[in-house]
Amino acid sequence: LSPAMHNAAFKKLKIGARYMLFEKSQEEFAPFIAQLKLTRVSGFNVTVPYKETVMPLLDEVDEQARQIGAVNTVVNKDGRFIGYNTDAFGFITSLKSDLKCPPRGKNVFVIGAGGAARAIGFALAREKAREIRFYDILSERAKKLSQDIIKTVDAVGGGGNTEITFVHNMPLNRRKIFSGIESADILVNASTCGMKTGDPMPIDPALLPEGIVVYDIIYNPSPTKFIEAVKARGVQAVNGLGMLLYQGAAAFELWTGKAAPIEVMRGALEEGLRECRKK
């Protein structure tokens, strides 16, 4: 979907550029980045699982991206590759715009502890959520992420009184696994669970408390089984299309120095999703 979004924006603003996809293995990734430096590329996006891997390969990393510990956007500035993170901006903008749910003073339960969860957790702390609780199938990963974010917000003084913690993985009792969900105002699925056909839902919708809102960063398939299930229970929920849109708009502006044509980009994303459903 990203090529459709960005290429529509380039066309609208009459910019002579093209956005293309490249899939690379772990072994191919670093040599590919080195090869890109020899081209006229203006910039590029990096997706999972390379948002952290790419950082030491860059000439410079923006301070916010360094604090988050993940890069999703790279700009070629006079031959130097500079890394940024637009995921945090994209998530918060979508949360406020699409769910009408500013996180300030809210309890947030985040499923997942990868690069997307890092950006989301950092953004939630900066927005002064009351509590952020992480769950990952690997509890040590959730623990490390919570500790990393605590250190970061303490260092920059942006988290206020946000409590950041993690849930121990106790698979014999699903209610204990999701301890804290009962007091959550916002649930974020920041894992890849739901991206593939046959994936289980990230959490049993029956565990969701009344009044909670759900943000699932998965945008394809749309809707996911999880989104369908929680909406069937009357829960307000959105997928990650808005996050993709707003992080993409921020990346576009970094690459071009021009205001992103948001509605053109949104239309291209929606059309791309319709095409995906036909396949």
- Using one digit for the tens of pLDDT, what is the confidence trace for 199-227? 999 999 999 999 999 999 999 888 899 99
Residue 158: pLDDT band with limits 50, 70, 90: low
In sign, the C-alpha dihedral spanning 216, 271, 13, 99 is: negative
Q: Choose among 179, 181, 157: nearest CA to 169.
A: 179
Q: For 119, which DSSP code?
A: H
Considering 139-148, 172-181, 213-222, 242-251, the range whose residues carry the highest mean pLDDT is 242-251
DSSP, collapsed to helix, strand or coil, labels residue 133 as strand
- Separation of alpha carbons 25 and 32, rounded Å: 10
What was the pLDDT predicted at 159? 55
Residue extent(s) of CATH 3.40.50.720 domains in the chain: 88-239
Q: Which fold has domain 2-85+244-278?
A: Rossmann fold (3.40.50)
Structural contact between residues 186 and 215, judged by C-beta atoms closer than 8 angstroms: yes
Q: Where does CATH 3.40.50.10860 sit in the chain?
A: 2-85+244-278
Tens digit of each residue's pLDDT (9 = 90 or more) over 110-143:
999 988 899 999 999 999 999 999 999 888 999 9
Asked if residue 77 has pLDDT above 60, the reply is yes
Locate 25 and state its tokens. Answer: 């293995």
Confidence grade of residue 152 (pLDDT, cut at 50, 70, 90):
confident
pLDDT of 253: 99
The larger pLDDT score, comparing residue 167 to residue 191, is at: 191
Instruction: Give 119's contacts (C-beta < 8 A, 6+ positions apart).
Output: 68, 70, 72, 85, 87, 88, 91
Amino acid 173: pLDDT: 46
Written as six digits, the tokens of 269 are 């994303």
How far is CA 212 from its chain centroid? 20
pTM of the model: 0.91
Q: Is residue 51 among the annotated active site residues?
A: yes
| Active-site residue, selected from the candidate residues 11, 12, 37, 51 | 51
What would the mean pLDDT of 174-194 be, rounded to a whole number? 83
Question: Which CB contacts under 8 angstroms, 24+ apart, belong to 96-102?
Answer: 97/242, 97/246, 98/238, 98/242, 99/186, 99/213, 99/215, 99/236, 99/238, 101/185, 101/186, 101/213, 102/127
Q: Cα–Cα distance between 17 and 32 in angstroms, integer? A: 20
Class at the top of the CATH hierarchy for domain 88-239: alpha beta
CB 187 within 8 Å of CB 213: yes
Name residues whose C-beta falls within 8 Å of residue 202's C-beta, 6 or more positions apart in sequence.
111, 112, 189, 191, 193, 194, 216, 226
Non-local CB neighbours of 181 within 8 Å, separated by 6+ positions: 109, 187, 203, 207, 208, 209
The distance in angstroms from the start CA to the end CA of the chain is 14
pLDDT higher at 172 or 99: 99
Angle, helices 2-12/241-256, rounded to nearest 10 degrees: 50
Q: CA 5 to CA 221: how far, in whole Å? A: 17
